[in-house]
Amino acid sequence: MEIMIYQSFSKDVAKIKDKALIKRIKNKILHIQQKSRKHLLDFGDIERLTATWSCYKIRIWTWRIWCIMKWKTLHLHRFLHRKDIYKKFP
């Protein structure tokens, strides 16, 4: 599976000071990229948002990655705390 990282996602991750959290982000992205699954929901920590069929959230502790699946490419848009992610996106 291909993964496209947007500039907004990179900026959000650059603001994080916790090295353990950054390591978990990298591991989660690598895990998704290396494992070939039929569907994103098979990974466990990934849930579909109810607003649309192509929007997903990935849980990492109390943080969320907001992403969109287009064809076979996962587009990572934002990485925010769970109290902030729902204010920015549907």
CATH number of the domain where residue 59 is located: 3.30.2310.20
pLDDT of residue 53: 74
CB neighbour list of residue 59: distance below 8 Å, 6 or more residues apart: 45, 46, 47
Range of the domain at 27: 2-88
Whether the model pTM is above 0.95 = no
Q: Which residues pair with 58 in a beta bridge?
A: 46, 65
C-alpha to C-alpha distances, 8 to 1, 4, 36, nearest whole angstrom: 21, 12, 26
**Tally of domains in the chain:** 1
In this predicted model, what pLDDT tens digit does every residue of 49-87 receive, in sequence order? 776 778 888 999 999 999 998 888 899 999 999 899 888
According to DSSP, residue 70 is labeled E
As given in the structure block, the two tokens for residue 60 are 């990492």
Work out the burial of residue 26: count CB atoms within 10 Å of its CB; fewer than 13 is exposed, 13-18 middle, 19 or more buried. Answer: exposed
